[in-house]
Structure 1
Amino acid sequence: MREIICSHEQMIVFAHNITEKINRTLDLIRIMQCNITEQEKLPSYPGICLDGFSSILLVNEKDEYIPFVYRMQKLSSVEGLGLYLEDVSDYDENPLYSVLYSNKPSYVSNTIRQAVKRLNEAMYIPDPNSQFVYLMSTL
């Protein structure tokens, strides 16, 4: 059995990378199934706890659960109705999927990814006027 030892900073980067990959998938789900006017149905950001901390749950080879809390967030989750996901098996056929998951360093792909990310971030801004200003600043 091999034990992996890493620094706290490496764990923060690891946890951040995991939550960003999950959030990219949620970006696609938000675009396809969410409505900006129904905030109580939006999925929460991955890794955000009710108290505003970011965390992940690590599972080792002995099936032991190890919580790792790594930083305070500006965001916090709120109670809501939740999002009922319909069949998402055909998402990978959507043209937006290939843009969001492309690793090619293309200016157009990067611009689209950033615009989708900002649109999804705007969904969580409670004030419609602030949402508008935030989205217009994207242009």
Structure 2
Amino acid sequence: MPQTAVGKSVSSFCRDVKIRGGVAIYVANHVNAVPLSDNLLNLSEELHFEAAGVNVNDLQLISLYRSLDGNFEYFIMKLCRLLDGLDYRKQIVLTGDFNVRFNTLQHQAQELVNLFSCYGFMPIVSQNTRTQVV
């Protein structure tokens, strides 16, 4: 894993075909972090479901990206598989860019909110993080 004087990449997914995309989790060198299991990280698929995840002590940190060009239903299927495979005895932080408008009644936003709720996740961001319409 790439390492600098102050930090290192612990988990990442880089695109092979499309450019300008992917996800990564970087931590300070003194942090003891290990990637999530290959079973979970191997769910990544370019544009549709891009994931990085680490275990840090009793915390699982996951970062996701869904491209606007990806298939939303396929993303939901992969997300369910990821959520089913997490260790709920640990704290879980799930971050990402899902490319939906959570503060609307948009079908995709409601489906994601309902899915996260079923697994006990509560949203923190309730406003759009950019002004462009997606």
Superposed pair shares fold, TM > 0.5? no
TM-score after normalising by structure 1: 0.26
Hey, which of these two has a bigger chunk of helix by percent?
Answer: 1
Hey, which of these two has a bigger chunk of strand by percent?
Answer: 2
Higher relative contact order by CA 8 Å / sep ≥ 6: 1 or 2?
1
